[in-house]
Amino acid sequence: MTRVLFVCTGNVHRSVLAERLLAARLPPGSAVRPESAGTQARPWSGMEASTRAVLEELGGDGSGFAARPLTAQLVAGAALVLGLAHEHREAAVRLAPTALRRCFTLKEFVRLAAGGVDTVRGGEGTATMHGDIPDGQVPPVVDGFDVVVAATAGRRGATAPVPPAEDDISDPWRRPRSVLYGCAREIDDTVSTLARLLGDGASL
């Protein structure tokens, strides 16, 4: 299994939605395993009621969830760590500095990967990458999920920066349901793109 870890603050809204919505958008049999944790989470079973309602409205499964705090072990064991805001990415890196090149915000990773990876052909276990490739030439094909992550990390310093807020998804904690729903839709749009970028993860 290829673990993708989403991180927010309390592990009650944003990271939960990202975990379960990505699971819903991946193809059946995918080896990608979405998980989540929170930088200030308290362990408890069950999903927050408003989160579950919005999640299920968007087609996700709210059953069997347990919130958990972010740990160095969780970061070290994930193939990809995606914070819902910069502070979450930075917290993951502080816990496991060697994971730096596998830690992004969710929106940052999708933005960079969409600019550097055409597709991941999971059925063949390959990723197609492109850069300055002349028209009519076939981009080089390279193996594996890890290569996609490494290539995306390489683009982090090679593309024009964006304002930090553009790569953050705002916390809907204690805000009206409409804000939570808008947050969930933003996350769903982003993880749907992520699922397409990863393709069929069964062979990654």
Taking residues 34-63, what's their average pLDDT? 95
Task: Report pLDDT for 197.
Answer: 86
| 122: helix, strand or coil | helix
pLDDT band at 130 (very low <50, low <70, confident <90, very high): very low
Q: Note the pLDDT tens digit of each residue in 66-86.
A: 999 999 999 999 999 999 999
Confirm if 122 and 30 have CB atoms less than 8 A apart. yes
Confirm if 176 and 4 have CB atoms less than 8 A apart. no
Higher per-residue pLDDT: 193 or 131:
193
Task: Report pLDDT for 203.
Answer: 41
- Rounded CA-CA distance 189/113 in Å is 15
